Every structure is written in structure tokens, then in C-alpha cells.
């Protein structure tokens, strides 16, 4: 196997963990067969090979390969995950974002289901507008039957996504959009009241200018049947808006998309109207279009003497301390990289290839924004920060357009150029060049803050195994704390308990202002930052507006109006602790939850008695200690009842421990504890002797038992008789990672685990 770590790549232990789990090539037994150096060289070589199509020599191609390799290994730029995973490999599908049309016919609906399955299998996420489907109860002319409506068909898409799972490296993710003037809009807004449904979807309501004006005037607006194009009834705009607000306050969904504004900036209006976006909302696309994204790590473009300049109070030091020349070079090389990706990409469908190459949209964005501000000593929620955000993104936008124009001279404009908003004075290769996407796993690899989000926490507990706490500390804070003489283990533990520096007395005020976290910032300031970047972004900006648990629906309403007024194209909100059973990653909220539980009455649980006859199955699980046979039985009602284990090698410590775990799991089953909770507790526990089977890692006997329980549940969505049938995805919304059990952060319009790199949004 190639060397795992190169001195040329500054990778943290967390980055290595994510790369090994999700990106590095593995053999049929799940064993890693390449290292980070090999990965980046593989990607650079594949993307540079496109130059052969444009008459470049072998020497020129080799030189560009080295430049692409240096670009990525310096961690100044990373392409979206499918490119890192698949470039130079057999699959070769490199796009993250797709939008598929769903027209009002059974053929179109199930074609879209099939095409989405192909995309999910290849590692992409899909966006759909269901606004063209006739409403529930409408008469279907061909059969005289009754339409079941968009939401019932969405469950078909959801089930198909559930079945694919994208091979375990990238999970399926969908965006479901419905126009606010669709007759079924009220059902759509409340579609996720049942948390066991549509878990593979993000939902957003497409708000129109007509609707927003009707709210302002406190008027009614028309609901329009998409089949007949005629109004069918009227609703009070304010009442519908209040319903959206209250559901977003309750659990973060649905989000909102300002669809008329998106089409106002549609670069190719003659080619069609935009109806949907990708799963996180930052990439509006025409039907069948895909987009290739990449992000620049802004933390790498702060001059080393910036801190000293800020201490001396240098005027305009924020802007002056940025390496603009280095940023310019990186932007231009990144645009070249992403344009090449369009050519080398192996598209899952011919229609997608044709639509993508017709407009050649790319989306260059940023990450490490909070780190840049910290290095410059600028508070995230300051006017200075918003001004700098606008300046930085304006620069990136301008330089990306210059590089696209350069490529147009060399390679030609995009085919739909004559139908676009561009003029001959600005002939470009790409219809769009900028997007700000969530960078959950990419930012872990790059060792920086995610997207344009503020810090999630200054210090937090990364994982808890066998009672051992592992603290993660922001490296900039560690450096400053040591310089100021306030560093101590006790300080870090107290910060991790709270997540922020807000009430830590020994931390100086200027440090507190610089290291401000997502929940220390007002929701309105979150929106202002999003708007500052949106001014100079072709597509859209993915960001989460965080609210405290005590926020009220009126607070959510205020940010929606502010976002609309400041020119944002959409908005995602998340109120801390709003999703059921949330496990928070800072001790403060966990303490509040414990206090809430303390006032509940004590309930004594008596395990169910075993019936005489019981049925089940036995599954062979390969572990580092040998073959483990796991038998799971259920009672007559189909509730999981007991679990037995048998080691292939008789006796020994491993065998006795597996038997003990089986007895405790059986006791939990018989006490009506949901299997997913048991599986979550056992998942990911490691021992000194892991094994690989079916392309996946078995970390220990405990981990093997958890996987056996999981696979048994997948056979029929098994529960334990308490009235709920939670899927594995429920854990995503609860704040616990379904892969490793770590804490999930809501950022960039997505949910991301900083422990293992799991992301809900593909």
C-alpha cells in the first residue's frame, strides 16, 4: 500500500479519519489501498488529462497536473466530494448536484424515480420540483381516476433513495420543492410532522413575489391547478406564511426559496425557467443540469503578520493582510480545474451530459471564512466582517469571470451563449462560476471552518468511548490562549461544557468577540452575512441561520423578511434542540435536558415474558476475533424480543463478552427499548482487531452486533411495539450521527458529523 501520510500534506487526525472512511480507494475486502498522496495525484492526473482534447502537449499536461496536485495538497482548494472519490476511477461520476424534471404523467414520474436512483448510485444528490403535478383529488382524464397528489409520489422517491444508499460512501439526498400557489401547499408544509416519513428529503417552499406582496398587504392569493392553469381557490397569504414559519421554528423545515429572484438571475432564460435546486439549495439548475462545485480555503490567504498589524491598530488591516495575489492565482486555477471536470465527467444519463455541457455551469465557493476573520481579529457579527465578505466575494467573482473569459478564447463559449444574458463584450466559457456550498467533509479535510459559517464551538467533546472524553479545541484559540497565559485543561473542559466563551471570565473581552460562535450571533446577523456574500455569487449561498432554543416564531418570521429584503435567494433555519430527541454536543444543553427529564415521574419497566414459540434468523458476522453468529428473534406481533451470540471459536474472553452483550440486548428488547437506540449505542465501538466484510469495516464484536441489528431492522422497518417505527435516518435529525454516534452539527443548510465526516445532504 502507498504511504498513508505525506509531509507535503498538512492533514489533521480528523482529516485522515474522514479520508480513510469515505474517500480513499479500497479493495473488494474493504481494505484501503491508497493514501492521500495517491488520491490527490489520481484526481490531478485525471482532471489534467482533458488538456489533450485542446491540443496541449504531454509536457504541458504534466505541468498542469503538478499545478492541480499542488493546489489540492496545499489545501487551498478542494473539489466537491464525488470528484475526490471518483476522478480517475471506473465510476468516473464527478458531479454533486443534479435537478430532474417531474411532469404530470405517470411515465415522467417514474422515469424521474429511475433516473434519481442512477444518480444516487453514482454519488450525486437530486433536486425536484413537484409543482407540475396535479393536486390530490383531481380527476385524471385518461382513466377517470383520482390523483393522489405530489406528496404521495414523493414517498415513492423517498423509498427509492432509501434502497440505494450509494454504496455506503455517499448517501442519497433529495430536495423537494413545491410552489406556494400549488393547491396542496398546506399538506406539503406539514409533510414532516411525521418524523418517520420523507427522511431522505429536504423540503423547501418556492415563494413568489406575488405571495410576498400579498403578505405585505395582508391579502389573499390564488392557488392554481398546474394541470388546468386555472385558480381553484384563495388563501390568506399571512396564514400560509405563519404555517411555514411555525413549522420551520418547530423542526427547521420547510426552508424557503425565493423562486422569482432565482429566475431574475437565470443566466439562460431562453433555455428555460428554473424550478428547483440541489439538496442544500445553493445550486439552482434547469431540468437535467448538473453542476460541479469546489471551495477555496480562505484561511490559507491571510498573511503571517496579520495578527501584529491588528494589534497595532492598522487602518484597513483586514483587507491589507489578505494575500490577494495568491487568491487570484488560486481562483483562476480552480476555475480551470472545474471546467475540465465538465469534460472528463462520466454522466449517468445522456440528457444530463447534453444539458450540462450546453451551459457548462460551475460553482466556485469558499470555506474557512470564520478562520480568516479570527486570524484578522474581526468579529463575525461586525459591520467590518460584512464589508470584508462583500469585498472578498466580489474579488473571487471578478477573477472567476476573467478566467472563464480566458478559457472562452481558448476553447469557445458555452453552446447556449447566444440565449444567455451575456454580451459579446463578456464572452465566457461558463454560464455561472460561483456558488457557496456546504463544505462539511471538505472543511474537515482542509482543517478549516465550514463554508461561511461561524465557529460551531471553540471547544467541544468529539467523542465519548468507555468513559474517556476527547476534547477538540480550535487551534487559533489554543495559540492565543497560550500567548495570553490562560491556557489550561480545566479551561478547555469548561469551554467544552458551554461551547462558547460567553461566560468564561478569565478570557479577555477582545478574544471573546473574535471567537464568537454560531449561537452567540443573532439570527439577523447570520442573514446579513449570507446577504453580503450573495451580492457577488451567481448561484446561491448555502447557510444555516441558527436560533437559540428559546427563540419564538416571530424571530423566524423576522429573518425571512430580512433575507427577502436583502436579496437572498433562499433561507434555512435551525432552532437549537427543536428536533425530537436531539443529542447536543455541548454540556450546557445536555444539562437542561437532564433537568427536564428529572421532573418526569419514575416508571418501572418489567421485561416481557418469553413465549413458548418464537421465530427469527441467524446472521454470520465476520470479526477480528473470528466468525460471530448473531441470532435475533421476534415475538408473534413482530417485535424484536431477544438476541443470542455464538463465536466460531468456543470459549475465550471475546465469546463471554459477546454472550453478555446478547443478554443485555435481549433485556432491552423485552423492555420495549427501540432497536435503533440499542444499535446506536453499540455502533462504532473499536477493538484492537478490526475486520472487513462486504466492503465495510467491522470495528469489534459490539460493532458487529449493532450491524446485525441494523440489517435485521432493514428487512421490515422493525420496532419494539411502542407505536413508532423509526428508520435509521431518525438519528440524523436527533443530533446523533447514524454512522458513529457522534454529535451532528447543523450548518450550511445541512447536518454534518465532525467525528467521521457523515453528511445528510450528499
**280 included as an active-site residue:** yes
Supply φ then ψ for residue 718, to 5 degrees: -70, 145
Angle, vertex CA 23, rays to CA 200 and CA 277, nearest 5: 35
Write out the three cell numbers for 295: 471551495
Nearest to 452 by CA among 659, 224, 196, 749: 749
Out of 282, 399, 674, 745, pick the active-site residue.
Answer: 282
Q: Length of the chain in residues, anyone?
A: 762
Distance CA 140, CA 269 (A): 32
Can you tell me whether residue 692 is helix, strand or coil?
Answer: strand
| Residue 605: alpha-carbon gap to chain centroid | 39
Peptide bond just before 318 cis, omega within 30 deg? no
Q: Are 367 and 541 in contact (CB under 8 A)?
A: no
Out of 162, 174, 275, 280, pick the active-site residue.
Answer: 280
Can you tell me whether residue 296 is helix, strand or coil?
Answer: strand
Write out the three cell numbers for 325: 495575489
Nearest to 256 by CA among 179, 187, 193: 179
Out of 278, 292, 430, 546, pick the active-site residue.
Answer: 278
Nearest to 252 by CA among 732, 726, 593, 589: 732
**What DSSP state is assigned to residue 22?**
I
Q: Which residues, 6 or more positions from 189, have their beta carbon under 8 angstroms from its beta carbon? A: 205, 240, 243, 244, 247, 254
Residue with cell 490577494: 324
**593 included as an active-site residue:** no
Distance CA 695, CA 692 (A): 7
Q: Are 166 and 120 in contact (CB under 8 A)?
A: yes
Nearest to 759 by CA among 345, 280, 370: 280
Distance CA 720, CA 670 (A): 8
> Annotated active-site positions, please?
278, 280, 282
Amino acid at each position: 500500500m502507498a504511504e498513508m501520510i505525506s509531509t507535503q500534506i498538512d492533514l489533521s487526525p480528523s482529516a485522515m479519519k474522514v479520508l480513510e472512511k469515505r474517500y480513499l480507494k479500497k479493495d473488494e475486502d474493504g481494505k484501503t489501498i491508497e493514501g492521500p498522496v495517491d488520491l490527490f495525484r489520481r484526481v490531478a492526473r485525471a482532471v489534467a488529462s482533458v488538456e489533450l482534447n485542446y491540443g496541449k502537449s504531454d509536457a504541458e499536461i504534466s505541468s498542469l497536473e503538478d499545478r492541480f496536485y499542488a493546489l489540492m495538497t496545499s489545501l487551498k482548494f478542494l473539489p466537491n466530494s464525488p470528484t475526490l472519490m471518483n476522478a480517475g476511477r471506473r465510476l468516473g461520476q464527478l458531479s454533486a448536484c443534479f435537478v430532474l424534471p417531474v411532469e404530470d404523467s405517470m411515465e415522467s414520474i417514474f422515469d424521474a424515480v429511475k433516473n434519481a436512483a442512477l444518480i444516487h448510485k453514482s454519488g450525486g444528490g437530486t433536486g425536484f420540483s413537484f409543482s407540475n403535478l396535479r393536486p390530490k383529488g383531481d380527476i385524471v382524464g385518461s382513466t377517470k381516476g383520482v390523483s393522489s397528489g405530489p406528496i404521495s409520489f414523493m414517498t415513492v422517491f423517498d423509498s427509492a433513495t432509501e434502497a440505494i444508499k450509494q454504496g455506503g460512501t455517499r448517501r442519497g439526498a433529495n430536495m423537494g420543492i413545491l410552489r406556494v400557489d400549488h393547491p396542496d401547499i398546506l399538506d406539503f408544509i406539514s409533510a414532516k410532522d411525521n418524523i418517520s416519513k420523507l427522511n431522505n428529503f429536504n423540503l423547501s417552499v418556492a415563494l413568489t413575489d406575488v405571495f410576498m406582496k400579498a403578505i405585505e398587504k395582508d391579502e389573499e392569493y390564488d392557488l392554481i391547478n398546474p394541470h388546468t392553469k386555472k385558480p381553484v381557490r384563495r388563501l390568506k397569504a399571512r396564514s400560509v406564511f405563519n404555517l411555514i414559519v411555525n413549522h420551520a421554528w418547530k423542526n427547521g423545515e420547510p426552508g424557503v426559496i425565493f423562486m422569482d429572484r432565482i429566475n431574475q438571475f437565470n443566466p439562460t432564460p431562453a433555455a428555460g425557467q428554473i424550478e428547483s435546486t440541489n439538496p442544500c439549495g445553493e445550486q439552482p439548475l434547469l431540468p437535467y443540469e448538473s453542476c460541479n462545485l469546489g471551495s477555496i480555503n480562505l484561511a490559507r490567504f491571510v498573511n503571517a503578520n496579520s495578527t501584529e498589524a491588528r494589534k497595532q491598530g492598522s487602518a484597513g488591516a483586514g483587507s491589507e493582510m489578505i494575500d490577494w495575489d495568491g487568491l487570484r492565482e488560486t481562483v483562476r486555477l480552480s476555475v480551470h480545474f472545474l471546467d475540465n471536470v465538465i469534460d472528463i465527467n462520466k454522466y449517468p444519463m445522456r440528457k444530463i451530459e447534453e444539458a450540462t455541457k450546453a451551459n457548462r455551469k460551475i460553482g466556485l465557493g469558499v470555506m474557512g471564512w470564520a478562520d480568516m476573520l479570527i486570524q484578522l481579529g474581526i468579529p463575525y457579527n461586525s459591520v467590518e466582517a460584512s464589508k470584508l465578505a462583500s469585498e472578498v466575494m466580489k474579488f473571487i467573482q471578478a477573477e472567476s469571470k476573467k478566467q472563464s473569459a480566458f478559457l472562452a478564447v481558448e476553447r469557445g463559449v458555452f453552446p447556449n451563449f447566444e440565449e444567455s444574458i451575456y454580451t459579446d463584450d463578456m464572452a465566457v466559457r461558463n454560464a455561472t462560476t460561483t456558488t457557496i456550498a456546504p463544505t462539511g467533509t471538505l472543511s474537515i479535510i482542509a482543517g478549516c471552518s465550514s463554508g461561511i459559517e461561524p465557529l460551531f464551538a471553540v471547544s467541544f467533546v468529539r467523542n465519548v468511548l468507555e468513559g474517556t472524553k476527547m476534547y477538540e479545541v480550535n487551534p487559533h484559540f489554543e495559540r492565543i490562549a497560550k500567548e495570553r497565559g490562560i491556557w489550561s485543561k480545566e479551561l478547555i473542559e469548561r469551554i467544552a461544557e458551554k461551547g462558547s466563551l460567553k461566560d468564561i471570565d478569565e478570557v479577555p473581552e477582545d478574544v471573546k468577540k473574535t471567537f464568537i460562535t454560531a449561537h452567540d450571533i443573532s439570527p439577523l446577523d447570520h442573514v446579513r452575512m449570507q446577504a453580503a456574500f450573495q451580492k457577488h455569487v451567481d448561484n446561491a449561498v448555502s447557510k444555516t441561520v441558527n436560533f437559540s432554543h428559546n427563540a419564538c416564531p416571530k424571530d423566524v418570521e423576522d429573518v425571512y423578511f430580512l433575507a427577502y429584503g436583502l436579496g437572498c435567494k433562499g433561507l434555512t433555519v435551525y432552532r437549537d434542540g427543536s428536533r425530537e430527541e436531539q443529542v447536543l454536543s455541548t454540556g450546557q444543553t445536555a444539562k437542561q435536558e437532564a433537568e427536564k427529564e428529572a421532573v418526569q415521574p419514575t416508571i418501572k419497566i418489567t421485561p416481557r415474558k418469553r413465549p413458548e414459540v418464537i421465530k427469527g434468523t441467524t446472521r454470520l458476522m465476520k470479526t477480528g476475533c473470528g466468525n460471530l453468529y448473531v441470532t435475533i428473534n421476534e415475538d408473534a406481533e413482530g417485535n424484536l424480543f431477544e438476541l443470542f451470540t455464538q463465536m466460531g471459536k468456543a470459549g475465550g474472553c471475546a465469546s463471554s463478552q459477546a454472550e453478555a452483550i446478547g443478554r443485555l440486548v435481549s433485556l432491552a428488547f423485552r423492555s420495549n427499548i427501540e432497536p435503533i437506540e440499542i444499535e446506536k449505542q453499540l455502533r462504532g465501538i473499536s477493538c484492537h482487531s478490526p475486520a472487513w466484510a462486504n466492503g465495510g469495516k467491522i470495528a469489534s464484536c459490539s460493532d458487529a452486533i449493532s450491524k446485525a441489528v441494523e440489517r435485521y431492522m432493514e428487512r421490515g422497518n422493525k420496532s419494539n411495539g411502542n407505536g413508532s417505527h423509526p428508520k435509521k435516518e431518525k438519528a440524523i435529525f436527533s443530533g446523533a450521527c447514524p454512522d458513529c454516534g457522534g454529535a451532528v452539527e447543523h450548518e450550511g443548510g445541512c447536518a454534518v458529523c465532525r467525528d467521521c465526516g457523515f453528511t445528510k445532504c450528499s
